[in-house]
Amino acid sequence: EPLPHARETVEKLAGSYHLVLITKGDLFDQERKLAQSGMGDLFDAVEIVSDKSAATYARIFSRNGDGPQNSMMVGNSLKSDVVPAIEAGGWGIHVPHELTWAIEHAEAPVAAPRFREIADLGELPAL
């Protein structure tokens, strides 16, 4: 089930921005989840990776856009979404969620100039 405000936010941003879904996990499981969400057509590209590292983000940001300096990763995991995107040179936007796995917890990089935290995805278009 998509997070609150996910569909309307992605619909609002699609067309104005190049949207790439980056997800980690089993290929078939992630493809199934995307198909069930009904949101697959809203993304310009989908990247299913086995590891979310700074090198992974740098590669994806360069292949699907103008490089890390002009890219933003939005996610609920500081460890896998936000921190490595910032380390790659991009923006990292944290959307806290109560169901984030304990192994995905990390210190928020509050001193990083490219770090932001929003309460929910509905705040993303204004950011």
pLDDT tops 90 at residue 121: yes
- 79-88 burial, b for 16+ CB within 10 Å, e for fewer? bbbbbbbbbb
In order of their start, the domains of the chain are 6-123 (3.40.50.1000)
pLDDT value of residue 52: 96
The rounded mean pLDDT for the chain is 93
**pLDDT tens digits for range 51-98:** 999 999 999 999 998 999 999 999 999 999 999 999 999 999 999 987
- Cβ proximity of 88 and 61 under 8 Å: yes
Position 65: which residue type? G
Residues 37-60 have pLDDT tens digits of 999 999 999 999 999 999 999 999
pLDDT value, residue 1: 75
Q: Confidence class of residue 99 from pLDDT cuts 50, 70 and 90?
A: low
> Given a cut of 90, is residue 13 above it in pLDDT?
yes
Give the pLDDT confidence score for residue 107 in this predicted structure: 86
